[in-house]
């Protein structure tokens, strides 16, 4: 009777809440972006988030409308697009279906929805997108370059370009469209435009060059104006990779800019780069990504971008014959200054000052100083100190990583470089006049401006520091392309590193547009025979390494799972098929890919120690395993895209390669010929074994982990081993690997003071000596791929691959490893997902949040009893929970859930 009264009161409470509840629509996005300026996608995709206090809320219908003015939108007049009510729960990636888009249009749009409880939202706040150059619209601007001859063997002084112009009519709005060969900064009337760094970005310059769009309405005046551009070498012609002298894409920097002014009377005027511009050099004497910048403030051109500046001694420019056909609007996020760090300590070292920023970071130092004209400051950067406490530079190889500043004298001066960045924790400042204090120096942290999308914490501070290191490794290497490292003479978009880390990246940041942009370059740089280069953009000229080139399949698949975005599969589908075709050609008729110089399980434990060759995994085994698995992924992609014949072909190919793999590499008793953790992990994770053999191989894998007592995997095995152990019933061993503090382990670098992920398991050895300086980065995110397991297994947030994009969420935390609590959040396309747990003796409490317009399957840990959900016994809670394989499992809708239970000890 009592329980019935409780249920009745609960139902009455729910009914009362339902009467007051409202459904609202927020967070409108166009191609993942809020109010994007200057896009060129003819069919943008629209997404939104729904908010409701009611449990189990789903969208039943939506309506979208769009117009060229916000006034018309609100009145519902002169609409470009009006969907009417569309019966669907789709609230992400809805394709624009209105009138064809034209160049330079701003489209305002809004949406309203109705939910399954009969609640209808109001029209949302208006959002907008604005188009740039759409297909068919030609640039009127000319490419321009300085007329002087540049030294093609080294960094040159940065050209300064300028033009004055007069606007006689009242200005309604103005847009600046600009790009360059090299890097640029742009100013109007003495003020820098925009907050973006390293524009126009790094792409496959032979085929794709981004331009940026800026709203400069407030920077112009109805009078005389000036537009100024500074150019730097950047990736285009600066030092890059190991090619002496740089100049990979060209020997000259150049600029292209078009200012479009719309007047209040509706007329427009174009001011653009042409032969009337002038050029000079100034204080930036050298600026190179690897080597740093030399800036002489005595050569500053005071007021150079103002209209009243005297440029009579400036030189004319020349028109450069450069194609405009490859110009594209940016898809990825811009690079910006994201954080500003204060120093942890400043120590006098002889005549110099050694500054510890407390964090291995990427960016540069902003420094203030007062001194005499001609005084020179020099800043040298390092990631780590040696055992004697000295700056350690050897692992930088040929990269000088040095910035120099010559003071002009007089008042206090502030210096920060323009077209270079460093990866560092420590800075040695030489030549500083006076005493350097914490107020004089700041660390300016830069990376691609991706929204944080995840958080992870637990009861172990060392694991929390590991999570911190994963995130800062991501920050340091997501600088327009996913680089391997940010400090030495490399900093390239290695495909293998990107491939293994992508799922972890997507947990921690919104990486959708970042990867979308990079994958376009991967497709552009792919060879005609299907081979995918080792680095993207391609500066090395060769590729075809399995596990690396498979980034062309694995990353689109990871994006599809995380964001539910079919378009990335459509965009990359032909590239995927070409890579499978290359693998098939290299493997030959026996389907075993052997003999090619693959990287294998890069930097595995065996590759570091000759006395542990038992941990070396055959490259042929790895190559064939990827051949089978990538083929199976392409089969699934073909099914999703509706290519039935392709799906059948790649399914059959994958099965044939799987059988060949078993014939070649698996003994009758289930033992792999390469008896290593990586071999068993790949075979099990890629589902290459039959059930009986898989069970035996799982035992062998566990036995190998127990035998070594630690991890032995490298770049390809490490991302998969923990989840493989968990899924084969040895979660205890997965936790043992996580908790291990001695080399090799994830926590060993943490105990050594690491603030980012290291390239090697033992970049710094226990005696504080170092690994081979030829390849020893202390900011290298690949081993941070453990982050996926931390989110998915420790905290319990997982993806249902059959219903991707977190439309259906798997909540399945597996407490262990001595942890007493863990919690993670993830900002999905639908809103915030949260999963956390606390263990107190035999008592377990789970806290779960499921966003509106999604559902979830919640797994309560095995051995749970006396289960209550939101204070009601599980059997009387009204939720559909039942026992499945020893676990209580239930399907729920959106809402917050508190689950209390006791665990068998």
Residue pLDDT, tens place only, 641-657: 999 999 999 999 999 99
- Given a cut of 70, whether residue 16 has pLDDT beyond it is no
728 DSSP 8-state letter:
T
Contacts of 437 by beta carbon, 8 Å cutoff, 6+ apart? 346
- DSSP secondary structure code for residue 905 in this structure: -
H or E, element range at 467: helix 461-477
- Name residue 769's beta-bridge partners: none
**Given this model, what pLDDT does residue 152 score?**
80
CA torsion 623-624-627-632 (nearest 10°) is -140
* DSSP three-state, residue 811: strand
| Res 512: pLDDT | 98
Instruction: Give the pLDDT of residue 886.
Output: 83
Task: Give, in order, the Cα–Cα distances in Å from 827 to each of 261, 568, 805.
Answer: 39, 20, 11
Could you tell me if 496 and 547 are in contact, meaning their C-beta atoms sit under 8 angstroms apart? yes
Angle at 581 between CA 622 and CA 721, to 5 degrees: 25
- Of the candidates 182, 290, 287, 183, the residue with the CA atom closest to the CA atom of residue 241: 290
Distance (Å, rounded) from C-alpha 777 to C-alpha 383? Answer: 9
Provide mean pLDDT across the span 835-843: 97
Tokens of 439: 């107020």
- Work out whether strand 454-458 and strand 402-406 pair parallel, antiparallel, or are unpaired: unpaired
CA distance 900 to 427: 51
Instruction: Tell me how far apart the alpha carbons of residues 515 and 506 are, in angstroms, rounded to a whole number.
Output: 10
| pLDDT reading at 785 higher than 80 | yes
* Alpha carbon 209 to chain centroid, angstroms: 20
Residue 308 has pLDDT above 80, yes or no: yes
Query: Cα 151 vs. chain centroid, distance in angstroms?
Result: 36
Decide if 759 is catalytic: yes
Q: What is the pLDDT of residue 6?
A: 47
pLDDT, one tens digit per residue, over 852-861 is: 999 999 999 9
pLDDT at 648: 98
CB 228 within 8 A of CB 191: no
| Cα–Cα distance measured from residue 258 to residue 38, given in angstroms and rounded to the nearest whole number | 13
pLDDT tens across 558-612, in order?
A: 999 999 999 999 999 999 999 999 999 999 999 999 988 789 999 998 655 544 4
CB 509 within 8 A of CB 478: yes
- Tokens 């640039």, residue located: 139
Q: What is the dihedral of CA 188, 190, 195, 198, to 10 degrees?
A: 80
CA–CA separation, 879 and 574 (whole Å): 45
**Does 468 have pLDDT greater than 90?**
yes
Question: Percent of the chain beyond pLDDT 90?
Answer: 91
Looking at residue 608, its pLDDT comes to: 54
> What pLDDT is attached to residue 11?
47
As a three-state string, the secondary structure of 38-66 is EECCCCCEEEEEEEECCCCCCEEEEEEEE
Taking residues 880-890, report their average pLDDT: 89
Tens digit of each residue's pLDDT (9 = 90 or more) over 220-244: 999 999 999 999 999 999 999 987 7
Residue appearing with tokens 């060759």: 613
Helix ranges restricted to H, 43-196: 70-75
Q: In whole angstroms, give the CA distance from residue 485 to residue 503.
A: 19
- What is the number of residues in the chain? 905
Range in 2-6, 105-109, 180-184, 384-388 the model is least confident about: 2-6
Under DSSP, the state recorded for 489 is S
Nearest to 454 by CA among 852, 833, 837: 833
Q: What is the pLDDT of residue 7?
A: 47
Give pLDDT, residue 13.
44
490 is an active site residue: yes
692-738: pLDDT as tens digits = 999 999 999 999 999 999 999 999 999 999 999 999 999 999 999 99
Q: How far apart are CA 383 and CA 393, in angstroms?
A: 8
Averaged over 92-96, what is the pLDDT?
A: 98
- Could you say which of 187, 197, 331, 490 is catalytic? 490
pLDDT bracket for residue 614 (50, 70, 90)? low
pLDDT digits over 542-558, tens only?
899 999 999 999 999 99
* Residue 192, H or E segment: strand 191-192
Pick the catalytic residue from 383, 413, 736, 759. Answer: 759
């Amino acid at each position: 009777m009592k329980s019935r009264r409780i249920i009745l009161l609960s139902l009455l409470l729910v009914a009362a809440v339902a009467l007051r509840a409202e459904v609202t629509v927020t967070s409108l996005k166009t191609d993942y972006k809020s109010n994007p300026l200057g896009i060129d996608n003819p069919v943008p995709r629209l997404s939104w988030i729904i908010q409701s206090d009611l449990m189990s809320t789903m969208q039943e219908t939506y309506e979208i409308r769009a117009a060229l003015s916000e006034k018309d939108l609100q009145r519902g007049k002169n609409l470009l697009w009006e969907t009417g009510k569309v019966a669907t729960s789709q609230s992400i990636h809805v394709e624009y279906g209105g009138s064809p888009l034209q160049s330079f249009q701003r489209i305002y749009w809004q949406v309203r929805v109705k939910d399954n409880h009969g609640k209808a939202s109001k029209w949302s706040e208006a959002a907008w997108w604005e188009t740039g150059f759409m297909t068919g619209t030609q640039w009127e601007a000319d490419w321009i370059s300085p007329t002087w001859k540049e030294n093609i063997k080294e960094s040159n002084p940065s050209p300064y370009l300028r033009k004055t112009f007069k606007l006689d009519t009242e200005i309604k709005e103005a847009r600046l469209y600009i790009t360059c060969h090299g890097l640029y900064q742009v100013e109007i009337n003495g003020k820098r435009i925009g907050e973006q760094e390293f524009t126009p970005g790094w792409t496959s310059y032979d085929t794709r060059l981004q331009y940026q769009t800026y709203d400069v309405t407030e920077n112009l005046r109805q009078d005389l104006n000036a537009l100024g551009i500074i150019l730097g070498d950047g990736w285009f012609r600066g030092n890059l990779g190991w090619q002496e002298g740089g100049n990979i894409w060209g020997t000259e920097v150049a600029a292209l800019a078009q200012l479009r002014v719309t007047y209040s009377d509706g007329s427009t005027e174009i001011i653009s780069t042409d032969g009337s511009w002038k050029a000079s050099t100034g204080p930036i004497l050298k600026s190179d990504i690897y080597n740093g910048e030399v800036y002489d403030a005595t050569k500053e051109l005071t007021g150079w971008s103002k209209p009243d500046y005297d440029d009579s001694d400036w030189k004319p420019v020349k028109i450069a014959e450069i194609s405009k056909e490859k110009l594209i609007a940016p898809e990825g996020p811009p690079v910006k200054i994201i954080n500003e760090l204060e120093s942890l300590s400043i120590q006098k070292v002889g005549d110099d000052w050694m500054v510890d920023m407390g964090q291995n970071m990427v960016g540069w130092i902003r420094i203030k100083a007062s001194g005499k004209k001609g005084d020179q400051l020099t800043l040298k950067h390092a990631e780590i100190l040696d055992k004697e406490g000295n700056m350690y530079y050897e692992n930088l190889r040929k990269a000088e990583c040095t910035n120099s500043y010559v003071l002009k004298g007089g008042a206090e001066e502030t210096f920060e470089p323009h077209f270079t960045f460093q990866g560092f924790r420590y800075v040695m400042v030489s030549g500083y006049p006076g005493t350097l204090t914490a107020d004089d120096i700041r660390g300016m942290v830069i990376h691609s401006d991706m929204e944080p999308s995840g958080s992870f914490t637990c009861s172990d501070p060392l694991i929390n520091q590991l999570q911190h290191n994963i995130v800062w490794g991501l920050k340091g290497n997501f600088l327009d392309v996913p680089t391997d490292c940010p400090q030495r003479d490399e900093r390239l978009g290695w495909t293998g590193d990107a491939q293994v880390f992508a799922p972890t990246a997507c947990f921690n940041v919104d990486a959708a547009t970042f990867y979308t942009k990079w994958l376009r370059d991967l497709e552009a740089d792919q060879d005609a025979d299907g081979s995918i280069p080792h680095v993207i953009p391609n500066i090395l000229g060769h590729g075809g390494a399995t596990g690396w080139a498979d980034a062309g399949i694995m990353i689109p698949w990871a994006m599809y799972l995380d964001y539910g975005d079919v378009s990335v599969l459509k965009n990359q589908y032909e590239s995927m098929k070409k890579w499978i075709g290359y693998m098939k050609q290299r493997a030959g008729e026996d389907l075993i890919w052997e003999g090619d110089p693959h990287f294998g399980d890069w930097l595995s434990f065996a590759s570091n120690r000759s006395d542990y060759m038992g941990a070396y995994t055959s490259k042929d085994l790895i190559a064939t395993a990827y051949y089978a698995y990538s083929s199976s992924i392409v089969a699934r992609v073909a099914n999703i895209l509706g290519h039935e014949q392709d799906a059948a072909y790649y399914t059959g190919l994958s099965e044939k390669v799987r059988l060949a793999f078993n014939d070649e590499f698996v003994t009758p008793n289930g033992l792999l010929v390469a008896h290593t953790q990586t071999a068993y992990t790949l075979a099990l994770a890629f589902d290459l074994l039959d059930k009986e053999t898989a069970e035996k191989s799982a035992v062998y894998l566990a036995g190998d982990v127990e035998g070594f007592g630690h991890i032995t995997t490298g770049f390809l095995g490490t991302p998969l081993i923990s989840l493989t152990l968990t899924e084969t019933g040895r979660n205890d061993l997965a936790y043992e690997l996580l908790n291990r503090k001695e080399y090799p382990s994830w926590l060993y670098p943490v105990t050594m003071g690491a603030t980012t992920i290291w390239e090697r398991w033992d970049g710094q050895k226990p005696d504080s000596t170092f690994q081979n300086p030829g390849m020893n980065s202390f900011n290298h995110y690949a081993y941070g791929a453990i982050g996926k397991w931390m989110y998915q297994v420790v905290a319990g947030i997982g993806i249902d691959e059959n219903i991707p994009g977190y439309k259906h969420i798997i909540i399945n935390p597996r407490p262990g490893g001595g942890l007493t609590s863990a919690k993670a959040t993830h900002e999905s396309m639908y809103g915030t997902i949260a999963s956390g747990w606390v263990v107190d003796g035999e008592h377990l409490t789970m806290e779960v949040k499921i966003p509106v317009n999604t559902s979830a399957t919640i797994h309560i840990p095995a051995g749970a009893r006396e289960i209550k959900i939101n204070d009601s016994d599980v059997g009387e809670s009204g939720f559909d929970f039942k026992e499945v394989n020893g676990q209580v499992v239930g399907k729920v809708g959106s809402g917050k859930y508190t689950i209390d239970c006791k665990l068998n000890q």
